[in-house]
Amino acid sequence: MSRLVRLYPPGWRDRYEAEFLALLEDRPRTAWDIVDTVRGAVDAHLNPQLAATGLEPSPWTHRIPGLLALAAGLMWSAHVVFIAFLVAPGQEWGSLIVYAAVVMLVSLPGDYMAAHGRQIAVVLGAIGACVILSALAPWQIQSLLIIAGYLITIGGMLTLASIRAGIGSGARWRLLVASIALPFACAIPMAIGIQPIGVGAWLILLPYGLAWVLIGLRMAIRGSPTIVDPPLNPIESEVRPA
């Protein structure tokens, strides 16, 4: 059991290892303790500032969410260029929906997912429903459901990311409308059966990726404190009497 403590990061071990081992010696070990210790090690790696000696958090941990969003935007843009030139017409939409969901989830760090789990669950549930229904529905309805899933994916994840980046509500709405309207306009010909859509039409999806790049840059430059970091004025913001 004491070997499991080696899973924790060095900073955490410097601060907590001795008392943690003493705690493990004081109580009978259970299988759940092993699971919980491993889970705690993962948490300690995700939040290294927890074991920092001072109150100043590591700036790199603040930049991780922004860098992930930046990577998501760049991957999206590269993917769009790839399907515009290399993928056979008619095979692109499904991969885009799945791909968008994956990259957006990757760019939402664990602490944010914990704080906004309900909204994320709604978005993912709606995407799943669209995918299942589109598999069962007649072909005429399939296109609409695929487009709906696509829009839910883009709209939901982009909204969550812009909330995460602290973008004001006006700018958030403009970003959301612009990045949905253009791909939607691109999707209309496909929905009404005009195929193939041209290479140029696929490139209309690029602004969505570029929006993520901008969000990522903003988050990376400004930093994005995690929920474990103390507020600037803890007494005023923490204590809200009932």
**Three-class SS state of 135:** helix
Helix 139-164, helix 206-222: angle, nearest 10? 20
**One-letter amino acid of 231:** P
Q: Hey, what are 34's tokens?
A: 């092993």
Q: Does 59 bind another protein (CB under 8 A)?
A: no
How far CA 205 is from CA of 25, 70, 151, in Å, comes to 58, 16, 12
Q: Does 16 bind another protein (CB under 8 A)?
A: yes
Q: Does 32 bind another protein (CB under 8 A)?
A: yes
Span near another protein by CB under 8 A; candidates 42-50, 79-87, 163-171, 188-196: 42-50
Q: Does 31 bind another protein (CB under 8 A)?
A: no
Closest distance to another protein from the beta carbon of 18 (Å): 5
Closest distance to another protein from the beta carbon of 202 (Å): 39
> Where in 95-134 is the site for another protein (CB under 8 A)?
111, 114-115
Residue 113 exposed, middle or buried by CB count within 10 Å (0-12, 13-18, 19+) = middle
**One-letter amino acid of 233:** N
Residue 29 exposed, middle or buried by CB count within 10 Å (0-12, 13-18, 19+) = exposed
Closest distance to another protein from the beta carbon of 26 (Å): 4
Q: Does 9 bind another protein (CB under 8 A)?
A: no
Q: Does 194 bind another protein (CB under 8 A)?
A: no
Q: Does 27 bind another protein (CB under 8 A)?
A: yes
Q: Which is nearer to another protein, 28 or 170 (CB)?
A: 28
Residue with tokens 């958090």: 57
Q: Which is nearer to another protein, 64 or 211 (CB)?
A: 64
- The CA distance from 4 to 42, in Å, is 11
- The CA distance from 17 to 14, in Å, is 6
Q: Does 49 bind another protein (CB under 8 A)?
A: yes
Q: Which is nearer to another protein, 20 or 208 (CB)?
A: 20
Closest distance to another protein from the beta carbon of 159 (Å): 20
Phi then psi for residue 107, to 5 deg, are -85, 0
CA dihedral 127, 133, 136, 139 (to 10 degrees): -90
Tell me, what DSSP letter sits at residue 165? T
Q: Which is nearer to another protein, 200 or 234 (CB)?
A: 234
Closest distance to another protein from the beta carbon of 121 (Å): 14
Binding site for another protein (CB under 8 A): 12, 16, 18-24, 26-27, 30, 32-33, 35-41, 43-44, 49-52, 55, 111, 114-115, 227-230, 234-235, 238-242
